[in-house]
Amino acid sequence: MKRLCWILICLFLIGGMSSMGACSNDQKVILGGLMPREINGWVAREKDELYDPETIFDYINGAGEVYRSYNFKQLLARRFSKEGQPDLVADLFEMTSSRDAFGVFTHDLEGDDAGVGRGSTYKGGLLSFWKGRFFVSLYAEEETEEAKKALFALSQKVASSIEEEGEKPDIVSFLPEEARVRKGVHYFHNHLILNYHFYVSDENILLLNQETEAALGTYREKNEKLYLLLVRYPEKSKTSQAYQSFTKVYMPDAKEAGIVQTEDEKWTASRVKDDILVIVFNAPSADFAKRMIEHVLKRID
Partner 1 sequence: MGKKIITRRDFLKVAAMTPFAGAWACSQKSVEKEKSAREIEESGKVKVVLIRDENALVSFKKPDPDVVQRMLDEAVSTLFDVKDPVEAWKGIIKPSDIVGIKSNVWRPIPTTREVEQAIKKRVMDAGVPEENIGIDDRRVKIHPVFQNATALINARPARTHHWSGMGGCIKNHIMFVPRASDYHGDSCADLAKLWTEYNLKDRTKLNILLMLNPLFHGIGPHHYSDKYVWEYKGILVSQDPVAVDSVGARILQAKRREFFGEDRPLQPPAKHIVLADTRHGLGVSNPDRIQLIRLGWKDEILI
- Candidate list 48, 91, 94, 213; residue touching partner 1; CB under 8 A: 91
- Candidate list 26, 46, 52, 110; residue touching partner 1; CB under 8 A: 110
- Shortest distance, CB of residue 266 to partner 1, whole angstroms? 9
- Residues between 141 and 200 with contacts to partner 1, criterion CB under 8 A: 141-143, 192, 195-196, 199-200
- Shortest distance, CB of residue 272 to partner 1, whole angstroms? 20
- Candidate list 80, 102, 139, 188; residue touching partner 1; CB under 8 A: 139
- Shortest distance, CB of residue 14 to partner 1, whole angstroms? 26
- Shortest distance, CB of residue 162 to partner 1, whole angstroms? 18
Q: Are 270 and 279 in contact (CB under 8 A)?
A: yes
* Residues whose CB is less than 8 angstroms from the CB of residue 109 and which lie 6 or more positions away in sequence, other chains included: 121, 183
- As a whole number of angstroms, the distance between CA 214 and CA 94 comes to 21
CA atoms within 13 A on the CB side of 193: 31
Distances (CA, A) of 220 to 230, 262, 289, 290: 17, 18, 13, 16
Beta strands 85-95 and 180-188: pairing type? unpaired
Q: Are 168 and 104 in contact (CB under 8 A)?
A: no
The rounded Cα 285 to chain-centroid distance in angstroms is 32
- As a whole number of angstroms, the distance between CA 220 and CA 269 comes to 17
- Residues between 240 and 279 with contacts to partner 1, criterion CB under 8 A: 249-250, 262-264
Q: How many residues does the chain have?
A: 301
Closer residue to partner 1 in complex, CB, 126/158: 126
Q: How many residues line the site for partner 1 (CB under 8 A)?
A: 40
- As a whole number of angstroms, the distance between CA 206 and CA 246 comes to 6
- Candidate list 40, 79, 81, 125; residue touching partner 1; CB under 8 A: 125
The helix (H) or strand (E) run that includes residue 85 is: strand 85-95
- Shortest distance, CB of residue 136 to partner 1, whole angstroms? 10
Q: Are 227 and 197 in contact (CB under 8 A)?
A: no
Closer residue to partner 1 in complex, CB, 65/221: 65
Closer residue to partner 1 in complex, CB, 64/119: 64
State the binding string over 10-49 for partner 1 (x if CB under 8 A, else -). ----------------------------------------
Interface ranges with partner 1 (CB under 8 A): 57, 60-67, 89, 91, 93, 108, 110-111, 123-126, 128, 137, 139, 141-143, 192, 195-196, 199-203, 205, 249-250, 262-264, 281
